[in-house]
Amino acid sequence: MSFSFFDLFWVFLFFSSLQPVWQRRQMEFRRVKTIQEFERGRNSRTILLIHRQESISLLGIPLSRYITIEDSEQVLRAIRLTPPNVPIDLILHTPGGLVLATEQIARALIRHPAKVTVFVPHYAMSGGTMLALAADEIVMDANAVLGPVDPQLGNFPAASILKVVEDKPIGDVDDQTLIMADLSRKAIAQVQRFVRTLLKDDIPKQKISPENIEKIVETLTTGQVTHDYPITVEEATELGLPITVGLPRSIYDLMELYPQPQGGRPSVQYIPMPYGDRRPRLPEPKGRPLPDPMEP
């Protein structure tokens, strides 16, 4: 039995078509295994909410992902399946998302009787910060950031719309802007009320000092800074949020299993370790670093 060139070509094409499927299965297996090891080490339920910018196939158009109703359905199901005495670890990497979906997840987190810990390896902005506020402890990388949760109406911050109405005579303001201003007042009041509810959470114990609650609400919800302003670990700690600095190494390993989709030439490239045996010591994290549950 002999094979022609075209027979070999079709065999090659067949195996090439199976390779992406096999790689996805392998990646999924590694993810599940790593999550299971992390859960065993901390005796917790681990939930990942990771949003990366993706590209539409062929066209290469960037497509930003965010917290959606579908995400809230899945997270709520995971919380519902968690026994009341089992802690929840939520790993966040998100620019934010829909208010409805975010509030649903946050309410479910503060209603969970056991401890809720949020891990932020890089950033959790807007709605991601709101989810962090629902946690009993926020564990962050030393360079990770949170963000304001002030409401946005379309492309405009609610606080800026109100500023226009305050600065201009009422007769010079058009009806549409007045309507937007009315909606802005309602939106800010609603967000402040919800954030205050999150900060007053005392299950399983009080997490925020009562004297810090109004300061946090004022800083995060009133548009004192732009919506994409990065709130550093130092600023968040100064506000009175329950911040711990220093992530377990296994969190970074998990993030490596959710890579940014590649579309041609990588925008960042480096050699992971230097040549030879002279390896630099990793810097000691500041604050109260958690022990890595996956290390013996």
Along the 296 residues of the chain, how does pLDDT read in single tens digits? 565 666 666 666 666 666 666 677 888 889 999 999 999 999 999 999 999 765 444 444 445 578 999 999 999 999 999 999 999 999 999 999 999 999 999 999 999 999 999 999 999 999 999 999 999 999 999 999 999 999 999 889 999 999 999 999 989 999 999 999 999 999 999 999 999 999 999 988 999 999 999 999 999 999 999 999 999 999 999 999 999 999 999 999 999 998 876 655 556 666 665 555 555 554 454 555 566 766 65
Q: Hunting for tokens 């925008």 — which residue is that?
A: 267
152 lies in some domain: yes
Asked whether residue 154 is domain-assigned, the answer is: yes
- Report yes or no on 170 lying in a domain: yes
In-domain check, residue 176 = yes
The predicted structure's pLDDT at residue 25: 82
Q: How many domains does the chain contain in total?
A: 1
In this prediction, residue 296 carries a pLDDT of: 59
pLDDT in tens, 110-126: 999 999 999 999 999 99
pTM of the predicted model, to two decimals? 0.83
What would the pLDDT profile of 10-65 be if each residue is shown by its tens digit? Answer: 666 666 666 666 677 888 889 999 999 999 999 999 999 999 765 444 444 445 57
Domain annotation covers residue 191: yes
2 within domain boundaries: no
Domain that holds residue 181: 148-226
In a domain, 3, yes or no: no
Residues 6+ apart with CB under 8 A from 1: none
